[in-house]
Amino acid sequence: MHSNPNWSKDGSFITFEYESPLVPPDIYRIDVETRNVTQLTFSNPPAMQKNKLILPEIVSYKSFDGLEIPAFLYRPQKPNGAAIVYPHGGPKDQYGFIWDELAQYFVAKGYTYLAPNYRGSTGYGRDFERANYDNWGVGDTQDCLHAAKYLRTVKDVKPDRIGIMGGSYGGYMTACCLARDPEYLYACGIMKYGDSNLVSSWAECEKRLRIYTEIFLGHPADKLDIYLKGSPITEAKNVQKPVLILHGLLDTIVPPESSEEWVEALKRHDKVFEYKTYDDEPHGFLRRENQLDAYERMETFLDWYLLPR
């Protein structure tokens, strides 16, 4: 639970944003002299206030090499036996005590929801943050696979009803987990604007993203083996579970061609997938109609493959 650090002061007033896992973001104003707080925006309608929202627990689990992976665990009041692993984007980012309407929605439906801060996440020291340098798609993938193993120890989670979904680097983690999981720990996966071929994506994305990638992996002319090792498209034949792929055609961060390549690779190996593009979306879905369409597809996909019929 936190307030936005971008405070703005106007005379004797301070304006700030506040959110928590239980309260969506809103803007508030504090009178410096009287310390009275006034809420200026109202994002929590009465219909949503009626729902029992869940405060996530901070948990951790060991990965393949003994590294402790912190995570946020949402436990539903009425479990349906299914679970979702949600790796965040970045990778130099972190999941925290934030308002996550998608998590709350699925938890209200009975899904257990786990958001791991895999190696490479910020907030846990320099060594942890740099643990995936020259190692994209390898150690961090194992962290996400071990998230499924951890969920198998959680009460009311059925081991064959665990899915993984994420956007951007989280979508990339989804592809890596489905392609590099000989135990088939996940029953399905959802990729939102995720990568599959680090080499071609480096070449096709905008300049600042090439520079960003090189911070972690170096230049592909010097470290092509690392780029190839991190590209799940080289192991598309190993995917055994269905995947939903969503991508905006105006994306300059993870080029839509990355999903096209992934789809073609899945086709060649006769894999099960669904593919939807949005011609007016950049990296992330911003238009309300597209968000609603994507969320509906995600819900239908997860319910179909994770809930008993």
- Do 141 and 21 lie in one domain? The reply is no
List pLDDT tens digits, range 186-211. Answer: 999 999 999 999 999 999 999 999 99
- Do 159 and 183 lie in one domain? The reply is yes
Relative to beta strand 83-85, strand 162-167 is: parallel
91 pLDDT more than 50: yes
Position of tokens 């392609």? 179
Residue at 47 is within a domain:
no
Residue at 28 is within a domain:
yes
- Do 157 and 25 lie in one domain? The reply is no
260 pLDDT more than 80: yes
If pLDDT is split at 50, 70 and 90, which confidence band does 5 have? Answer: very low
Of 24-28, 123-127, 157-161, 303-307, which gets the smallest average pLDDT?
A: 24-28
List pLDDT tens digits, range 225-235. Answer: 999 999 999 99
Which position has the higher pLDDT, 116 or 48?
Answer: 116
- The per-residue b/e assignment along 65-95, b for 16 or more CB within 10 angstroms, e otherwise, is eebebbbbbbbbeebbbbbbbbbbbbbebbb
- Do 6 and 120 lie in one domain? The reply is no
| Full domain range(s) for residue 9 | 2-39
Domain count, the chain: 2
- Do 19 and 141 lie in one domain? The reply is no
Residue at 288 is within a domain:
yes
List pLDDT tens digits, range 125-164. Answer: 999 999 999 999 999 999 999 999 999 999 999 999 999 9
* pTM of the entire predicted model: 0.92
Residue at 46 is within a domain:
no
pLDDT of residue 247: 98
Rounded average pLDDT over 201-224: 94
By CB atoms closer than 10 A (0-12, 13-18, 19+), residue 251 is: buried
- Do 95 and 188 lie in one domain? The reply is yes
The rounded distance, in Å, linking the Cα atoms of 270 and 279 is 26
Rounded average pLDDT over 65-81: 97
Residue at 45 is within a domain:
no
Tokens coding 186: 């996940």
- Do 284 and 186 lie in one domain? The reply is yes
| 133 CB-side CA count, 13 A | 12
- Do 300 and 214 lie in one domain? The reply is yes
Residue at 44 is within a domain:
no
Peptide bond into 87 cis (omega under 30): no
8 pLDDT more than 60: no
